[in-house]
Every structure is written in C-alpha cells, then in structure tokens.
Amino acid sequence: MENVESSNALEWKLPDQVMQLHRLQVKKRALQARMNRVRNTDKGSSPLNNSSDNGNFNLKQQTSQKRKNPFVKDDANKVEKNTTLTDLENSNDNTLYELLNISVKRQKTVENTTPASSLNFTSVLAQLENNACVSGIEVPKGEKYVPIDWTLKTKMRFMSPKPFPWNSKLKTSEEASGTTSFVRCLDIGQKETTLDTSPNARFHQCCLVWQHPSLPWLELFPRSAGKVSASLGSNSAIANNQLIRDALYREWCDSFRSLFHLLRARQCPYFYVCTNNFTVLFRAAGICGLSEMHALLTPTTRGFRQALKQEEIEYTMPLKIDYKRPSDPTDSGCETLDSNSSVLILNEEEDEAQDKWLQSLGVENSEIRKINSSQARMILEKESEMDSMKQSLVFVKGVEAQALFNLLINCKSAITTTGALAGVPPTLLAPTAFHGATLKPLKVKESIVRMDKDRFHSLELKGPLLPHILPSLCDMMKSSQLEEFSVSCALLTTTTSFSAAKHGLERIETEDAAKIQQNVFGQENLSDCGFNNILLRHFCNPDPAKIEVVEGLKYSNGLYTLS
C-alpha cells in the first residue's frame, strides 16, 4: 500500500506545480525566440541573405511560432466585437443568432454572392429573403381553360380593344361552308378540306343551333307562360284548334324520341327540354366523366316529385340540405326529403305507439287527431319550402333517365293549356341534328363602344346559346392572336342550378389514373357526337372544379378569369 501511495504522489501534481512548469515553458519559448531573432539579424547583415523574400519568410516563421493565450479575456472580447461577416461564413461554429446581429448594411455582400459559394446560414437566409420578395409580387390569377357552364344563356357580348377576325357580313362561300361544317359536324379549323376555312366561315359554324318546334310568329325561347312577342301577335290559331294541337304534339313526340335515341347511342352529347314551368338537361354517358347517361331537372314542385315517386323513378336532390329527424339518432342524414318517405312521414308503428302513449295520459281522440294533422301539415310545409327554387333540382341517371323520358313524353301537363303558348309543345334544343329539327341561326350584331375615352369592338349574339358556344368562340379568338378580350352573358336564371349541381350527386373520388382512363373511354365512345377533339376532351373532363356559372369572363396574358 505504501508503494502505491508513493507512486500516486509522484504522478499527481499540485496546481502550483503545473503553473510553474507552464511558466518555465513560456520562458524557454521566449528565450528561444530571442535567440532566433539575434541569429536572423546576424544573417541578414551578410550580403548573401539581404533579399526581401527571405525577410518576409522569417517574419512569417516568427509570427507562426508565437502562441496566443486562450485564457486572456480581453482578447476574446475583441474577437467577438470585431467579428465580421466573412469570419462568420468561414468559421465552423457560426450560429444563426450571430448572423441575425449583423447590420443590414452588410446584406449587399450576401446579394452579390454567386451560386458557387459555400452553403451557410447567410446564403440560406438571403435566398429566403429573395423568395419572399418574389412571392410579394402579384402573380396573375386565372385558368388556361374556359369553365363549362350548363346554364342556358339568352345573350352574349364580346368586347375587344382590337377588331375581331370575323364579322357578321358573310360571303356566299363563307355562309355555305359554315352551314355545311355545322350540319355535317366537320372541324374545318384543323382538318384539310375543300370548304372555306376563313374566320367568317368558322364563326358562322359556331352561331347555329337545332330547334324544335319552330313557329316564326312565336318566341319559343326563353319559354314564359305570360310573355308574348309584341310584334308577332298571339297564338289563338293553335289554342282554339284541337287538330293543330294534336299534330304539333305528334311531331314533337317523334322529335323528342329521335333526340333521346341519339343521346343513348352517344351521337348527341346533350340536349335541353324547355317547358313553361321547368327545364330538363339530358347528358350522354361520358359527359362530365359519368359512366351512365343522366338528366337534371329544375325547378320542381312537391306535386311533380310525387309524380316521380308514383312512377317509381329514383332520384336525388344534390342542392338540397339534408333533412334529419332529431328524434331518430340512427338517421345518417344522407337521404333527401323526397328520396325516402320514412324520413318525412311517421310510420304506422310510431303513430300507434304515440297514440297509445297520448291515450294513457288521458288525451282525447279528437285532440290526438289534431296533433297528427298539425304534424302532417308541418311536414308538408317543410317539403314545399324549396318548390320552384334551385334547391329543388332533381338528378337521375341510368335506367331512371329512361323512365324520366317516358314520363315526359306522356306527360300532357308539360304542355300548357292557357296563355300565349297554349298547346305548344316544349322547346327542344340540341347541338346535333334530329328528326323534325329546324336549323336556327343566332342573331349577330356588331358595333363600336366607347368607354372612358377608350374604343372597344363589340360583338353581340342573341338566341338560345348552348354550353359549347362560349368555349368554341373563345378558342377561335385565342387562336386568332387576340391578346385580350372580355365576354358578358345574360343567363336564364332558372337553369343556373345545372352548373351549381356540378356532376349531380355522384362523386368521382377515383385515382388520377382511373380518371384519365375513364375520360379517354368517354371520348372514344363520343367520337361521333359532333364535337372536335379539344371540345370533347373539355366536356368529358371528370373534374367538377371545371364547372362554373359564367356571367362574365376575361382573357388576358393567356389566362381566363371569371368576373
């Protein structure tokens, strides 16, 4: 044990002893440096060693041999105070807090750094600041496509600071080529043909529509029971003659049936049935990415929805807020008021249970009947709240669309018996030809408008404007190198719910690959519907975000924005 303690005593040294050794080493270094300095001066006096390079080398060697005391506090403070941006960048232990204390004046050196400089906190912060400045710049908002609007329009006006590449004054060849291309569903703008492919001919092709019936002395679009064309007279000849009314109805049934068969065969993308009280939109399978043909009807009343129930036509109401009975916690709230009668009317078992419970409390039968009648009245009022509103829109698909067609073609109430349009069947509008259809041109008017000392070229279209007309005209203007133009639309307000409903109640939540495959499948099946490839791809897109109600649209910088 003594030997161990003695050996430990020899190995361990007291602090005073350590400091003595340290002082001794410092004195030795100082003495060595002094001796080296004397030797260097002696050598420097000789003519062989008087060059400036050797003097610099000896000076560097002298300074390199000196060691700075790391425990001196004043020197450390000076280093911290004199820290520069370059020192921080080259140091290995620089911190974000030190960088933040650098003055703003030194940011110029950061901005001038090249991408080849080393990655450090300073360069990263500079990039973030530059990105923040760039993000502060307003990026133009808009889309590269024209939204699909299923709302029927009565008027459309285009305005541009530059003249349009076409006008309403058509040559004989232009009118003939435009009519031929529309009737035969030819894309004269992209395919080689012997027809006239001028802008006027292509514009005339976009200004045609198929309609049935066509009575020149009556305005059949928009339909209104109380509106008569002031200059064309009344409808007494049809209203007072049963033979004329029957003949009109027979012709209308043939046209309606022909149009529906074209839709089922996917040779017509869509068509409208316009009555005095409601409008129906039939769409072919593949349009909007839906796999089955479908139809939307608006507005509806409780009586019409009851007629659908009686015909066992299943339907949904996409725009209606789901009704949920507070007394039934198991109700999922997914059924609409009219899609399931159990949501609205108490079943017989519940009625009997409630009657027995009220009788047990001593309530008389007369009072029980009053309570039941008041409940039924409240339910009916709840059902009728949405009548003739856009929330009353009805959506059917598949075989139910076929059942709706059968109901409409046999529904005599779709033809009004009073008013200016008494006895006149509903108006059929379509982009493709069908039996009994009449080719109707839109009314086109050109003018020059001055607004705030600015001059604009105006082009106004009036008539039944179908959904494909707006994107077709916008695509023509875009391809004609028009850098800027705007369009305003007059909507048939009773049909805005067609666009508000998007695709109906069906939600497409498949993967992107499945969407693309479904879209391609729909385009292939609708290749003979009369649309060109660009327009067909647009209308078959399954994205509901591409459907909007368009009242105003502006094109600028290659983007379309709603206004």
Q: What is the pLDDT of residues 213-225, one digit of tens each?
A: 999 989 999 987 5
Structure letter (DSSP) for residue 561: E
In sequence order, what are the residues at sequence separation of 6 or more whose Cβ sits closer than 8 angstroms to the Cβ of residue 363?
Answer: none
pLDDT attached to residue 361: 67
Look up the pTM and report it.
Answer: 0.68
In degrees rounded to 5, what are phi and psi of residue 145? -125, 160
Q: Sign (positive/negative) of CA torsion 41, 46, 47, 48?
A: negative
CB atoms within 10 A of CB 488: 16
Residue-level pLDDT at 512? 47
At residue 324, the pLDDT reads 45
Write down the pLDDT at residue 496. Answer: 95
Q: What is the DSSP letter of 547?
A: B
201, exposed or middle or buried, with CB in 10 Å at 0-12, 13-18, 19+? buried
With a cut of 60, say whether residue 454 has pLDDT above it: yes
Cβ-Cβ contacts under 8 Å for 341 (sequence gap 6 or more)? 309
More confident residue, 340 or 86: 86
Burial-class residue 301 by CB neighbours within 10 Å (0-12, 13-18, 19+). Answer: middle
State the number of CA atoms in the 13 A half-sphere of 109 facing the CB.
Answer: 10
Alpha carbon 447 to its chain centroid, in Å, reads 33
Is a pLDDT exceeding 50 seen at residue 548?
yes
> Average of pLDDT values for 440-458?
91
- Kindly list the domain boundaries of the chain, sorted by start residue: 362-391
**428: three-class secondary structure by DSSP:** strand
Give the largest CA-CA distance in the chain. Answer: 140
Question: Tell me, what's the pLDDT at 381?
Answer: 60
Q: Which whole-number Å values give the CA distances from 203 to 179, 197, 199, 442, 448, in the listed order? A: 10, 10, 6, 11, 19
Query: Using one digit for the tens of pLDDT, what is the confidence trace for 377-386?
Result: 666 666 667 7
Phi, psi of 96 (to 5 degrees): -65, -30
CB 345 within 8 A of CB 335: no
